[in-house]
């Protein structure tokens, strides 16, 4: 006996089901899309750093969390710094990398703040919504935080996540794509 229906397209249009698009919903959609792009950019930098065939690189990156991808990316950049040029101008590459990692994690935190919140279903005045975040930590017990937000602030977060993606791409813009075997610092134990 089957108890639940499987997914089937409804056949109704967006406007028939929802009506006119909502700015707040569109802002959240922008966050989802830009974060997806950012994660893809970080995955592609891993392929570039590892000098992998794209299909093999996808095997390496597909099961990694965003945090693990960023950690791996930073470790690989540090390994290649002595012999590889990155697009940092005259700035110290290690300092630029440290700041890059910091803003990547900030983008992840902003994404999670929006996407992993419970949003109160009723709209407040001026198209502002309230998110509720619950945490239960051993050291603090149950904690509840509420934040009121409008579509402008949500779009600011989406724009920032997109900006971080551009910065990552810029950092790797002129990177030499060499095999790590050619890199004399790739394995200091030999």
Q: What confidence tier does 189 reach under pLDDT thresholds 50, 70, 90?
A: very low
Sheet holding 141-149, edge to edge: 118-119, 129-137, 141-149
Q: What confidence tier does 181 reach under pLDDT thresholds 50, 70, 90?
A: low
The DSSP annotation for 36-88 comes to HHHHHHHHHHHHHHHT--HHHHHHHHTT--HHHHHHHHHHHHHHHTTT---S-
State the average pLDDT over residues 21-46: 94
- Of all helices (H) and strands (E), which one includes residue 23? helix 23-50
- In the predicted model, what is the mean pLDDT of the chain? 88
For 70-126, how does the pLDDT look when each residue is reduced to its tens digit (9 = 90+)? Answer: 999 999 999 998 888 899 999 999 999 999 999 999 999 999 999 988 887 555 566
Q: What confidence tier does 190 reach under pLDDT thresholds 50, 70, 90?
A: very low
What 3-state class would DSSP assign to 131? strand
Cβ distance 175 to 48 under 8 Å?
yes
Q: CA-CA distances (angstroms) from residue 36 to 3, 6, 99, 141, 149?
A: 34, 26, 21, 33, 22
Please state the domain extents for the chain.
Answer: 21-120+151-175
Is residue 183 predicted with pLDDT exceeding 60? no
Cβ distance 142 to 14 under 8 Å?
no
């Amino acid at each position: 006996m089957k108890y639940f229906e499987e997914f089937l397209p409804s056949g109704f249009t967006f406007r028939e089901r929802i009506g006119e698009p909502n700015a707040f919903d569109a802002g959240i959609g922008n966050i989802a899309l830009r974060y997806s792009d950012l994660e893809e950019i970080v995955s592609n930098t891993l392929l570039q750093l590892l000098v992998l065939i794209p299909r093999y690189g996808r095997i390496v990156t597909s099961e990694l969390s965003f945090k693990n991808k960023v950690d791996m990316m930073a470790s690989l950049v540090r390994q290649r710094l002595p012999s590889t040029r990155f697009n940092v101008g005259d700035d110290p590459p290690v300092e630029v990398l440290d700041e890059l990692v910091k803003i990547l994690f900030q983008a992840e935190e902003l994404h999670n703040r929006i996407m992993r919140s419970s949003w109160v279903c009723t709209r407040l005045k001026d198209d502002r919504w309230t998110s509720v975040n619950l945490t239960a930590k051993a050291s603090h017990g149950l904690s509840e935080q509420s934040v009121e937000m409008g579509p402008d602030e949500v779009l600011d977060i989406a724009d920032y996540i997109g900006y971080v993606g551009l910065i990552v791409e810029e950092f790797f813009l002129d990177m030499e794509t060499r095999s790590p075997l050619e890199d004399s610092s790739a394995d200091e134990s030999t």
